Structure 1
């Protein structure tokens, strides 16, 4: 089971390296890692598990964040219509993106970043992706070609950047005049 102590932090050299494509068939270790990545993300969204294991909440986790330089990440996120996007992506590629850019008004977070950050990270509002997913019930690799938009697209792009050794902290801007906020923050 992945715990916070297994997640490498900002400054670790692996976080700035490009991850290697996974060869098929996947090894047992790679399949186990896929399960572990998804398990962490799901556990981190369960309040009891968060308290018990002192997990930081997340919606995605890349293999490189546990110091495995493989092109794989898990996302488990709902869009604003409550549709669930729960995948372990393997060797994903963004094949097309919208001209529109967006951002999370409160900024992004990352399990590998312990400090407060200021600024906004531009992301494409909609992306078309291809690659593979691991069916976690059968452990079979399946091709995927799908379109993501809004919050799931932002989460995908954050994790995808990890595969290329890019941290969101290198993409922070004080304002993004050509982008629109994904949602408006409510004033308190």
Structure 2
């Protein structure tokens, strides 16, 4: 089981290195790695498990963050509950907006329009706040292999697009704050979407 102690922190060289494609067909080792990464995200989003294990909440994890130069990422984005007219929360029909282990993921096309998360981004490998908009593509098309070794192609927008770009960046040695304009961190570029 992956814990916060397994996640390397800012300054560790692997975070700035480009990961290698995993070999297909996938090895049992790589399949298990992806499953453990997804389980970590599940645990980090469960308040009881997160407190018990001392986990910070996360929606994505890349193998680079475990010190492994493999193009393996896991993404787990929960659906938010809706609120009725009386202010009561209605549980979502589907628990997750996105739940995927991706091998050799790459962005194959993207929108011209930019987007950023309203309050900026964070990272399990960065133990400090880095204020500013992390400017990314608003929409992306991503190709990857799933754990069954099937080639997939998906189109993403809004928060899922941002999350997957964050994790793919890790596999390319790029940190989220590399996308922040340090001269004007909260600059909103023309046409940029702010994702809540």
Shift of 1:78: 3.5
Greater Cα radius of gyration, structure 1 or 2: 2
The equivalent of 1:137 in structure 2 is none
Shift of 1:95: 1.1
Secondary structure in 2 aligned to 1:44?
A: helix
Question: Does residue 93 in structure 1 map to residue 103 in structure 2?
Answer: no
Alignment of 1:154-165 (within 5 A): 154-165=162-173
Alignment partners' CA distance in 2, 1:146 and 1:118: 30
Contact 1:77 1:84 in 2 (8 A): yes
Equivalenced residues, count: 178
Question: Does residue 133 in structure 1 map to residue 141 in structure 2?
Answer: no
Shift of 1:172: 1.4
Alignment partners' CA distance in 2, 1:93 and 1:51: 34
Shift of 1:180: 2.2
The equivalent of 1:177 in structure 2 is 189
The equivalent of 2:20 in structure 1 is 20
The equivalent of 2:131 in structure 1 is 118
Contact 1:79 1:151 in 2 (8 A): no
Secondary structure in 1 aligned to 2:146?
A: strand
The equivalent of 2:69 in structure 1 is 69
Alignment partners' CA distance in 2, 1:12 and 1:151: 27
Moved over 3 A (4+): 78-83
Alignment partners' CA distance in 1, 2:110 and 2:79: 18
The equivalent of 2:60 in structure 1 is 60
The equivalent of 1:149 in structure 2 is 157
Question: Does residue 105 in structure 1 map to residue 118 in structure 2?
Answer: yes
Secondary structure in 1 aligned to 2:31?
A: helix
Contact 1:79 1:150 in 2 (8 A): no
Structure 1, unaligned stretches of length 5 or more?
Answer: 135-139, 184-188
Structure 2, unaligned stretches of length 5 or more?
Answer: 83-91
Contact 1:93 1:130 in 2 (8 A): yes
Alignment partners' CA distance in 1, 2:117 and 2:21: 29
Q: Normalised by the size of structure 2, how large is the TM-score?
A: 0.87
Q: Normalised by the size of structure 1, how large is the TM-score?
A: 0.90
Shift of 1:30: 1.1
Shift of 1:79: 5.7
Alignment partners' CA distance in 1, 2:62 and 2:112: 26
Shift of 1:73: 0.2
